[in-house]
Amino acid sequence: MNKLQGKHVLITGASQGLGRQLAIDFAREGAAGLAIVARDVRALNEVRDRIHEIAPQARILVIGADLAKEADVERVIALTLSTFGGQLDVLVNNASALGPVPMPYLLDFPLEDFRNVLDVNLIAPFLLIKKALPAMIECGGSIINVTSDAGIIGYPGWGAYGISKFGLEGLSQTWAAELEGTGVRVNWVDPGSMNTAMHRAAEPDADPSQWADPADVTGVFIYLASDASREVNGQRFQAQEEDWGRSVGRPA
């Protein structure tokens, strides 16, 4: 407990699934402030209320935003920094758009949907990092991008989502290399197959009982957000691998 004592954190896509669980578990670990972002403000308010049940001391900032819009990205950073006195220790780029379902092959992928997926999954993380960096460089911090095995293997039918994750992996590597030595570290995590609304929509014929609960994969995120990982930069983690901790010299 208290691995994130005093940390101020921004989590996108926090209304459900992994983002919701990260917000709850980060609060349990003592985060002082949490900015939680998604389009569904009602769901975010429910997450806020749940956090206050378990961590009444945490300061929760609810921000309704469409991260496909640059103006909303700018507003997210401005509200977060103004609320937390200019401090931002952890940025988790978790929000993702899947695109149309059933998921079409690229030949049939509507251009407008393709652009929207890339705007949310790739352009928004680029902009969020770029706009958060001045505050993060001042005191150091951790940027965690959420990727997928669809970002290293071109699965048929995963279209724009997979391509956006390929891009996010490259973006993460480049940011990590460019920020080496600044005190800001960039790492990315593949959480694996999880029982979330997005995954159920992507694979409606699969058995979700075979997939992990998001609560089972947050350990690596807590580690990467904590000071224990201050020397870890530019690494890809698979949350459901039992040896992820040993890969960086930490207990799993």
**Model confidence over 103-131: pLDDT tens digits?**
999 999 999 999 999 999 999 999 999 99
pLDDT value for 245: 57
Domains of the chain: 8-248 (3.40.50.720)
pLDDT of residue 124: 98
Q: Which of 105, 155, 161, 223 is catalytic?
A: 161
Low-confidence ranges of the chain (pLDDT < 50): 247-252
**pLDDT confidence of residue 195:** 74
The model's pTM? 0.93
Per-residue confidence (pLDDT) for residue 197, from 0 to 100: 78
Task: Tell me how far apart the alpha carbons of residues 110 and 234 are, in angstroms, rounded to a whole number.
Answer: 34
CA–CA dist 113, 128 (Å, integer):
21
For residue 251, what pLDDT is reported? Answer: 38
> Does residue 105 have an active-site annotation?
no
* pLDDT value for 252: 35
Beta strand ranges found along 65-180 (DSSP E): 90-93, 141-146
Sequence-distant (≥ 6) Cβ neighbours of residue 136 within 8 angstroms:
88, 89, 91, 143, 184
Helix and strand element counts for the chain (H, E): 8, 7
Angle of CA points 31, 186, 93, to nearest 5°: 60
CB 148 within 8 A of CB 165: yes
CB 91 within 8 A of CB 132: yes
User: What are the tens digits of pLDDT across the range 197-225?
Assistant: 777 877 787 787 878 888 999 999 999 99
